[in-house]
Amino acid sequence: MLSYLFRRTRGLMTAAALASILSGLFSVLLIAQINAALTSDSASRANAAWAFAGIAVALMVCRMVSAALFERLGQRALAELRSFVAQCVAETSFAQFERVGSARIQSALTEHSNNVAVLFVSLPVILTNTVIVVGCLGYLAMLSWQLFLFALGVIGLGAVGYHLVHLRAIHYLQSASSEQDRLFGHFRALTDGAKELRLHQRKSRVFMDQILGESVEGVRRLRTYGMSLFVISTSWGQFLMYAFIGLVLFVLAGDGPNQTQVMTGFALVFVFMVTPLEGLLINIPRINMARVAASRIDDIAREMPQGQERQATTQTTQMPALQHLELREVTHQYYHEQSDDFFELGPINLSFTPGEVVFLVGGNGSGKTTLAKVVVGLYPPEGGEVLLNGERVEADGWDAYRQLFSVVFSDFHLFERLLEAPRDGLDEEGNRLLAKLHLQHKVRVENGAFTTQALSQGQRKRLALVVSYLEDRPFLVFDEWAADQDPLFKEVFYCEVLPELKRMGKAVLVITHDDCYFHLADRLVRLESGKLLATEPMDGEQPTSEAVEASVTS
């Protein structure tokens, strides 16, 4: 991920890095000027003043340029990362998306992306300070190579200690990132379960203290451990610096001819180097935070491969015609990790034709929604095949296949805008349908968007029905659409909407528990424990649920 970002921003990155390196070089030149001025006579000091002023101005300009460019890079990296993750989510198969889960995706889009972007703000500090430290060491080598070697030994010792502590710190940061992914799931429960939490004190307390609270605490603890280890190693580095200055000044200082000049130079350069070195030590953990965050984003991207059945987000696929749709020996499995068992749907043999209304019935958990997801191509079958107009749908044909369907799921989502390609008369058509569903006084379609979504659940479902009509797809699926409707609108749905869709030549699959309307179906399909029990053509009589049960099981 990091190399991808660096590749995408190569030009800007090179310019920003150059400005950082130059500002490091100018800093070293400045300290050399100061040292020269301190140990020279007043005549040569006057000459050095102009050079000093020139270097100071150049340093300021370079610092400004590098900080501004890296800030820009940081924002660009954040935008790139968010687009990348969003693209992965949009293009992966639905089953993969479900496996990754929305908590990890949210975490990648916010916290992990931010942590990676912060790296770009830290980079100028790291680059500039590296150049200063290396430059200062070079200057020390010019003053006295013996002391320089001694200084290298001290820095080496510091680096080994730093590295060892570092490895442990990274381990904590990685654990903190995993815990944080879970934390995002709890944040979601906090908002989605706002009603339930307010209604039940004990539930709320347990959730806040034990579930959310412990997760928040877990992230805090692991991050604190990790970052504290970095602080310890930073302090260790600082101590070594001062120990070195002490050793040079009080133990190693001899009585040679240039000794005062060398000692002044060493002390001055070392004191000057302390701040950049600290800057380095403080910012290196950010690189590691960014690396950990980038690897989490990489994991998510790997788990959401954009395979052959990818969702095309950049081009519009041609919608095929629907004459006949057949599921042949189709199967789908869910694996339940906690109980280590499977739910198996199928093998299913089922067909649909335009102008036919099929009711899909069965007990809770019998697999109705899963079958609907298989029919509409959200789960391409793991076994068996789907034949569209007699031809098998191949791996690269699922995206086009899905364009046949308009679905109102029981956990449907209404987008703010009607996202279908804008067309003339969309608002008028939408408002006509709203009037038909008795919603014209509550909401209107204006400029391709509903004026409000602050409606009851049943009313919002009617909006979803309007969207389905507007999408004008040949196959419509309703997953317990009528469950939230009052008796009047149940009647409208079963006795007016469905017959109208049938007259329009639509194929319609209705998942329902409303047994008093079963007689209105052209065909009744019953599922039990993932198996198709029977498909019954209806003859227009109104059977009781017992009669249906008997007909299905006989």
Ligand X SMILES: Nc1ncnc2c1ncn2[C@@H]1O[C@H](COP(=O)(O)OP(=O)(O)OP(=O)(O)O)[C@@H](O)[C@H]1O
3-state secondary structure at position 23: helix
In the complex with ligand X, the residue whose CB is nearer, 113 or 370, is: 370
In the complex with ligand X, the residue whose CB is nearer, 174 or 410, is: 410
Using CA atoms, how far apart are residues 316 and 417, in angstroms rounded to an integer?
19
Q: What backbone torsions phi and psi does residue 320 show, to the nearest 5 degrees?
A: -75, 165
Spatial contact of 531 and 368, defined as CB atoms under 8 Å apart: no
Using CA atoms, how far apart are residues 267 and 441, in angstroms rounded to an integer?
81
Output the smallest distance, CB 362 to ligand X, in A. Answer: 6
Please state the length of the chain.
Answer: 554
Output the smallest distance, CB 220 to ligand X, in A. Answer: 31
14-46 per-residue burial string, b: 16 or more CB within 10 A, e: under 16: eebbebbbbbbbbbbbbbbbebbeeeeeeeeee
In the complex with ligand X, the residue whose CB is nearer, 368 or 461, is: 368
Output the smallest distance, CB 370 to ligand X, in A. Answer: 3
Using CA atoms, how far apart are residues 13 and 19, in angstroms rounded to an integer?
10
In 144-212, where does DSSP find H-type helix? 145-192, 194-199, 201-206
Comparing C-alpha atoms, which of 135, 158, 126, 129 is closest to residue 269? Answer: 135
Spatial contact of 108 and 178, defined as CB atoms under 8 Å apart: no
In the complex with ligand X, the residue whose CB is nearer, 77 or 386, is: 386
Q: Compute the C-alpha angle 244/248/250, nearest 5°.
A: 110
Output the smallest distance, CB 529 to ligand X, in A. Answer: 9
Using CA atoms, how far apart are residues 75 and 89, in angstroms rounded to an integer?
21
In the complex with ligand X, the residue whose CB is nearer, 262 or 361, is: 361
Using CB under 6 A, list all residues that contact ligand X.
Answer: 98, 334, 343, 362, 364-370
Output the smallest distance, CB 535 to ligand X, in A. Answer: 16
In the complex with ligand X, the residue whose CB is nearer, 439 or 464, is: 464
Output the smallest distance, CB 389 to ligand X, in A. Answer: 27
Positive or negative, the CA dihedral 399, 404, 410, 413 is positive
In the complex with ligand X, the residue whose CB is nearer, 398 or 409, is: 409
Q: Report the 3 state secondary structure along 115-133.
A: HHHHHHHHHHHHHHHHHHH
Using CA atoms, how far apart are residues 277 and 282, in angstroms rounded to an integer?
9
In the complex with ligand X, the residue whose CB is nearer, 225 or 343, is: 343
| Strand pairing class (475-479; 405-408) | parallel
In the complex with ligand X, the residue whose CB is nearer, 84 or 409, is: 409
Output the smallest distance, CB 381 to ligand X, in A. Answer: 15
Output the smallest distance, CB 334 to ligand X, in A. Answer: 3
Q: In this structure, what token pair is assigned to residue 422?
A: 């804008």
Output the smallest distance, CB 545 to ligand X, in A. Answer: 15
In the complex with ligand X, the residue whose CB is nearer, 315 or 364, is: 364
Using CA atoms, how far apart are residues 438 and 424, in angstroms rounded to an integer?
23
